[in-house]
Amino acid sequence: MSLATEALFRALADPTRLRCLLLLHAEGELCVCELTHALGESQPKISRHLAQLREAGIVSDRRQGLWVYYCLHPQLPTWAQEVLRVTAAGVTGDLPYAADAQALHDMPNRPGAVCCA
Amino acid sequence: MSLATEALFRALADPTRLRCLLLLHAEGELCVCELTHALGESQPKISRHLAQLREAGIVSDRRQGLWVYYCLHPQLPTWAQEVLRVTAAGVTGDLPYAADAQALHDMPNRPGAVCCA
DNA sequence: CGTGAATATACGCCTGGCCATATATTCGAG
DNA sequence: CTCGAATATATGGCCAGGCGTATATTCACG
């Protein structure tokens, strides 16, 4: 994976994408409906941002029946993983990070996510 | 320093600002003309981006005679410093990071930068 | 003061990127 | 084959933000 430095930061610059990535970093693998519910955003919005992340090589997707599961790209460069780790550890109150995770876990009828293959 | 997570990444999303920050991270303190020369960009362009970084609380400036020196803000949160450190260590070839540093050191008549007070 | 060097700001233009809405695709169930 | 659920894409509008150029500010020096 080469992943341009600038490309990662452009991806992280949008709050919706950043929240998705932090959730994926913490949870491993999530499908679109879970992310939609956790962030409380519209489905097309989430889908569009996930497509951007996919095209940038930051996440990878896996279709399973009706659901599409996303996870951080397995070959994501170490430095990029480090950026996410450090960010997750240091988020201030400006991002609803904790609330997103809470909403995710409170979601009824979650499709059974396992782990990113 | 509170520095919103999103604000930092928006700052890093522009290549000019990212290059400035990486140079400041490596060199400690630099004046506008040094950055202008190192990046090979126009003076107003550098100045405008530095102003944004200053307003975001990411860098701080110090006037000394005719020159204005910039450095990473002394109270920059730890996690933000970590992001810069990790990034500097992991830059791929897409950013002229090494070339910028080279151009800086090759610059004639550099004002004597010391260290960020 | 007046002049020139270093830096900052103002202005107008224009592209990129975000959004909401609507529509297309894909797939399992029956 | 049809239908509905989950997801993806297309379209058009809109605004943030980047750029170059021109101009303003600030300061050392004589």
Question: What pLDDT is recorded for position A1?
Answer: 67
Q: What is the DSSP letter of A114?
A: -
d(CA A31, CA A39): 13
Q: Tokens representing A61?
A: 């997707």
ipTM of the complex: 0.91
Most distant CA pair in chain B: distance in Å?
38
List of chain A residues whose C-beta atoms are within 8 Å of the C-beta of residue B12 = 9, 12-13
d(CA A66, CA B79): 39
What angle separates helix B15-27 from helix B5-12, to the nearest 10 degrees? 100
Report which of A105, A20, A110 is spatially closest to residue A58, judged by C-alpha positions: A20
Report which of B92, B88, B115, B114 is spatially closest to residue B101, judged by C-alpha positions: B88
Distance between terminal CA atoms of chain A?
18
Question: What pLDDT is recorded for position B116?
Answer: 33
Q: Over its length of 117 residues, how does chain B's per-residue pLDDT go in tens digits? A: 689 999 999 999 999 999 999 999 999 999 999 999 999 999 999 999 999 999 999 999 999 999 999 999 999 999 999 999 999 999 888 899 999 999 999 999 888 644 333
Q: Tokens representing B115?
A: 């260290």
Report which of B114, B94, B113, B91 is spatially closest to residue B37, judged by C-alpha positions: B113
Q: Over its length of 117 residues, how does chain A's per-residue pLDDT go in tens digits? A: 689 999 999 999 999 999 999 999 999 999 999 999 999 999 999 999 999 999 999 999 999 999 999 999 999 999 999 999 999 999 888 899 999 999 999 999 888 644 333
Question: Which residues lie below 8 Å from residue A80, measured CB to CB, with a gap of 6+?
Answer: A3, A8, A58, B90
Q: Kindly report the CATH class assigned to B5-105.
A: mainly alpha
d(CA B84, CA A87): 11
Separation between the CA of A44 and the C1’ of D12 (whole angstroms): 16
- Mutate which: B84, B92, B95, B97, vs A, most A CBs within 10 A: B92
Domain ranges within chain B, ordered by starting residue: 5-105
d(CA A63, CA A68): 4
d(CA A38, CA A51): 18
Q: Mind telling me how many Å the CA of B15 is from chain A's nearest CA? A: 6
Question: What pLDDT is recorded for position B60?
Answer: 98
| Second-level CATH architecture of A5-88+96-103 | Orthogonal Bundle (1.10)
Nucleic strand D near CB of residue A66 (< 7 Å): yes
Written in H, E and C, the secondary structure of B34-51 is HHHHHHCCCHHHHHHHHH
Residues in chain A: 117
Report which of A43, A33, A34, A39 is spatially closest to residue A17, judged by C-alpha positions: A39
Q: Mind telling me how many Å the CA of A65 is from chain B's nearest CA? A: 35
d(CA B88, CA B86): 6
The beta-carbon neighbor of B15 closest among A2, A6, A83 is A6
d(CA B38, CA A65): 53
d(CA B112, CA B89): 26
